[in-house]
Structure 1
C-alpha cells in the first residue's frame, strides 16, 4: 500500500524511477550495506520539531542531523527530534521509520542537507523496510521543493 501511493504520485508527474526490493532492514546504514549502495546516496528521513511544527530533515544515510546547525541555518528558535509516538499517525500508509522524503504528501515542510544534493540520483525508503526507490535528485527537488541547508554531520567511521 505505501509503495502504491508514492508510485501513483510519481507516475502522475511523469517521473522516471526504479523500485528496489531488499531484505528487511530498519536503518539506512544497514540498507546501504545490504543493497551495496553508498550511504551518501541513500536519503534517510528524520522527523523533527521546528518551532512546534513537524518537518522532515533529509540527510544521507552516512550522516546525521545536527540539530543545532539546523536551528541556526533555518532561523528557528527551537529544533528537536520528534518521537515515533508524535509522528506515527501522520504516515498511516507507511511503516514507522520508513517514510519517504515527500513531505508534500504529508503536509510537512522538507529540509534537505546540502550534503545530499551532489549526487545525480538518490535512493530512499518507499514506505516499507523492504523497498527503496531510486530517482533523479533533480526530479525529487522539482516535486518536493525542499529547503536546502547545511545541517548534517558525517557519522564517525
Structure 2
C-alpha cells in the first residue's frame, strides 16, 4: 500500500496520478516485465551520498549512472550509492520503493535529461505492489529538479 504521506503530497500539489497495482516486484526490470512496459518509461529513483551530502537522482530504468559525469555536475570528489540501512534512516522507506519526491525528505533532486523524452512515467511510491503513473511535467513542477546528463546506456 502506498503511504498516505506520498498520496497527500500529490493531492496537496494538485497532481493527477494513477495507482498501478501489480504483483510484488523488487526491481525496475521486474516492474517493466510485469507491467509489459518499456524500461525507459519507468523512472528509477536512487539516493547517493557525496562529500557535499545526500542527493536524490531520477533516471530512466533503462540507463545507469555515469559517476564521472555526475561528479562534475555535482562538483564533488566522493560519490556513491547509500546503504540499505542508511536509506531506511533517511527516507524511512524500503529499498527499491523510493519515490522521486525529494521534497518529502529534504533532498535535492537531480533529473537525468534523457527522461524528458517520456510524457508519463511510472514511479515507485513506497510499495512493492503498487506504483504511480504521473506526468513528468507534474514531477518537474513539484520538485523543480536540477537537470543534467549523468547516465549512460546499460552495458
Structure 1 residue 91 displacement after superposition: 1.9
Displaced runs of 4 or more, over 4 A:
none
Work out whether residues 99 and 127 of structure 1, in 8 Å CA contact, stay in contact via their aligned partners in 2. yes
User: Does 1:100 pair with 2:124?
Assistant: no
Deviations 1:82-102 (CA, angstroms, capped at 9, x unpaired): 11122211222x222211011
Tell me the secondary structure at the aligned position of residue 37 of structure 2: coil
Unmatched 5+ stretches in structure 2:
none
Unmatched 5+ residue regions in structure 1? Answer: none
Report how far residue 49 of structure 1 moved: 1.0
CA RMSD of aligned residues (A): 1.4
1:2 deviation in Å?
4.1
Residue 60 of structure 2 corresponds to which residue in structure 1? 60
Residue 126 of structure 2 corresponds to 127
Aligned residues: 155
The reply on whether 1:4 has 2:1 as its aligned counterpart is: no
Give the TM-score taking structure 1 as reference length.
Answer: 0.92
Give me the whole-angstrom Cα distance separating, in 1, the residues matched to 2:66 and 2:109. Answer: 15
Q: Does 1:113 align with 2:115?
A: no
